[in-house]
A and B are shown apart, each in its own frame.
Chain A
Amino acid sequence: MSKVKYYSGFERFWHWTQALLIISLLVTGFEIHGSIELFGFTKAVDYHIILAWSLIVLWVFAIFWHLTTGEWRQYIPAAPNRIFAMMKYYAIDIFMGGGHPFHKSRKEKLNPLQRMAYLSMHLVIAPALWISGWLYLFYSDLEVVGLEGLGLMGIALAHTAAAFAVLAFLVAHLYLALTMSKNMADLKAMLTGYEEENND
């Protein structure tokens, strides 16, 4: 058993800052949506805008980091049979005490299902949030880019739909991250960067 460094300093900074920002954005966003009352609409809007720009800056750095380190390859989809194996594991084998079909390594940090999940986050949900959020923020100036025909309702609903997807994602992510490894090894790894190699 040896300790392997899975997550670099930047990666951990990115993950935890993003976690904080996304949860805060969900809270302020659902207040703007009218689901909860916490800060009041005025402050919720101001906080939401500051948080959103912070997340955008963070994402710009994260994209740069992924491209320059080559870590973006972690999200390349695995072969279908490997994905099915993971699905079978979560659906059946896990209850039977069967072994995990995936072996985590520095080169392949994400299991085939995680790859799919994060890839759809990066390519579908996040862009939907960025684009609809920007349209929402700059709604009064959309004629500059010739988009004044877009209704506020459509923009708002798209943004809300994407927010629901993020919230559902967060729920599933927390469950998997906190219960799938022995003694919270996944959590510890994301905090310290290091994980025992034999853990699965």
Chain B
Amino acid sequence: MSVSLLLSFTLVFPAILLAAVEKADNGLISSTADHSQFKELQEPFKIGPDVTEACLKCHTEASKQLHQTKHWNWKFTNPETGQTVGKTEVINNFCLAVETNYPRCTSCHIGYGWKDASFDFTSEKNVDCLVCHDTTGSYKKYPAGAGHPAYKDKPFPPKGGKKIFKAVDLNKVAQNVGKTTRATCGACHFYGGGGDGVKHGDLDSSMTNPDSKLDVHMGTDGLNFVCADCHTTDGHETQGSRYNPVAKDKHGIDVIGRDDKSRATCESCHGLEPHPETVNNKLNEHTDRVACQTCHIPTFARGGKPSKMWWDWSTAGRKTPDGKPIKEKDKNGYVTYVTKKGHFRWGENLEPEYRWLSGNIRFRSVGEKIDPTQVVSLNVFDGSYDDMDARIWPFKVMRGKQAYDKVNNTMAIAHLFGKDKDAYWKSYSWSKSLANAMKAAGEEFSGEYDFMETEMYWPLAHMVAPKEESLQCEECHSKDGRLANLTDFYLPGRDNNGMLDIIGWLAVAGTLGGVSLHGFVRILAGRRRKNS
């Protein structure tokens, strides 16, 4: 074997291992079932739902379980607020809302065929097992396929697209199913908002195979966690949702049999006082008011992929003088203007913004009254220094401009994707697009619109840095530190009482001046006595 061949093996082989069915220490596969031996999975499959039907022959309850989940319903009633949230209910400042844009948005749904509001949520065969359980890396949902992968080679965009989605080998994928991986979860969660790293800031494709510097838990050179190691599941329901985060885990380490089944908080493993005590115990004394993430995620979008920080829909629709769509890019090749979507700003290696968070996260809904003269927060939450359940959390704050109903002063959503002429990406007519989506949502729309500035808060919990790189005290305990804007409490090193400082320094200066004058007069008087 030549050296170069050996080299290529050592480089390629680990990558193959990562994408293969999980192996135990003894070299056997971890699962007690080798799915490639099941005859149910040998029969030719035409479409995804055929595979699901085969899965359900053994895993009889799987679809019923999935039907209960947020992943399936995109709808969830927060027990804390009573508000029904989820992807179908909330508005964001990326592509605004799912309503009327189903086939595009639902390419990230764990099902097949959600192409409009008539989707049958009771269908068992329409649950997509493979998108989460694929280990081959070859199963990809087609971006505008309402959840289906490409069954024959297909370009995207459909007309003249350069990216080819290859026909999936459903049998191969089905025979190699396994536990979820960073890659399967990431297939959707790393690409939320329409592209790599766009939405979250702490989740992008660099987290598929991160090193320990990027994420100390998931680093492939270290602990090599997968998402489900913390986001544990029970009957297919996944723990640790941003819709009702645990802002302050008072419970500490979770022990099997005694505690809840969630390991989605840092405290679930690290406990409430994880820091070694030095001459002071101040680090542990911060855990009641400062979330772990605040110090341990010093910056986000750290893996070489930028995150979208600004999206201005108000400038969308511009074309060249001869009527062609415009596309502008920054020096790194990231789109900063595109006719369909308006202006973008991207950021990499960013300092989070910090807010108090105790919970009770509420989201704006379609038709809700807003004050367009203010920056409208698309999600609001409780928390302040005086709220003892609140801790300081790091956030990516997504900002931008989006349409609202100028007469009713209500939130508006847009029909963006589709072949009909109401779709904004066909006609570039906001009036038609907004009217269409508002009607579909059953909301009033005056027909008049304008653009308002909005912000949306995305709590950060990933890209946890090695402890050596966590924030040092000075980052916050200083005059212009990271908490400069969080002013509802006294922060040593940042705050003082101006009057006390003036009086204090005057007292010191007065004493110094007094004794200096006293000494000076003594010298003068002494000389005069000598002379006389």
A residues near B, CB below 8 A? 32-34, 40-42, 45-46, 49-50, 90, 94-97, 137, 139-141, 151-153, 156-157, 160-161, 163-165, 167-168, 171-172, 175-176, 179
Contact = CB atoms under 8 A, between A and B. Distances in A.
A46 B522 contact: no
Interface stretch (B58-66, B132-140, B488-496): B488-496
B505 A45 contact: no
A165 B493 contact: no
A40 B481 CA distance: 13
A163 B497 CA distance: 14
20 contacts: A34-B495, A45-B280, A46-B278, A46-B279, A90-B518, A94-B525, A95-B521, A97-B529, A156-B490, A156-B495, A157-B500, A160-B504, A167-B504, A168-B511, A171-B508, A171-B511, A171-B512, A172-B514, A175-B519, A179-B519
Given A42-B474, A175-B515, A160 B496 contact: yes
B331 interface: no
Contacts of B472: 40-42
A167 B508 contact: yes
Nearest to B388: A148
A153 B518 contact: no
Contacts of A45: 280, 282, 473
Interface of B: 278-280, 282, 285, 288, 472-474, 477-479, 489-490, 492-497, 500-501, 503-505, 507-508, 510-512, 514-515, 518-519, 521-522, 525-526, 529
A45 B492 CA distance: 10
A53 B300 CA distance: 40
Nearest to A137: B280
Q: Do most interface residues of chain B lie in helix, strand or loop, or is the interface mixed? A: helix
Nearest to B278: A46
Contact of A96 (B278, B285, B525): B525
B515 A172 contact: yes
A40 B507 contact: no
Most buried by B among A168, A172, A179: A168
B279 A168 contact: no
A34 B494 contact: yes
A107 B285 CA distance: 50
A167 B493 CA distance: 19
A141 B288 CA distance: 11
B495 A153 contact: yes
A158 to B, nearest CB: 10
A172 B495 CA distance: 28
A34 B493 contact: yes
Given A49-B280, A140-B288, A179-B519, A161 B496 contact: no
Given A41-B474, A140-B285, A175-B519, 15 more contacts: A40-B474, A45-B282, A45-B473, A46-B279, A49-B280, A95-B525, A139-B285, A151-B490, A153-B489, A153-B497, A161-B500, A164-B508, A171-B511, A175-B515, A179-B522
- Which 3 A/B pairs are nearest by Cβ-Cβ distance? A164-B504, A153-B490, A140-B285
A45 B282 CA distance: 10
Nearest to B510: A168
Given A33-B496, A34-B479, A40-B474, A164 B505 contact: yes
A90 B517 CA distance: 12
Contact of A41 (B473, B489, B526): B473
Contacts of B511: 168, 171-172
B516 to A, nearest CB: 8
B119 to A, nearest CB: 52
Contacts of B518: 90, 175
Contacts of B504: 160-161, 163-164, 167
Nearest to B477: A41
Contact of B492 (A40, A96, A156): A156
A108 B497 CA distance: 41
A68 to B, nearest CB: 31
Contacts of B473: 40-42, 45
A42 B473 CA distance: 6
A160 B500 CA distance: 8
A24 to B, nearest CB: 15
Contacts of A153: 489-490, 495, 497
Contacts of A137: 280
A32 B279 contact: no
A151 to B, nearest CB: 7
Contacts of A151: 490
Contacts of A139: 285
A96 B529 CA distance: 8
Contact of A152 (B478, B489, B505): B489
A139 B491 CA distance: 13
A79 B501 CA distance: 35
Contacts of A96: 525, 529
A171 B282 CA distance: 33
A96 B508 CA distance: 28
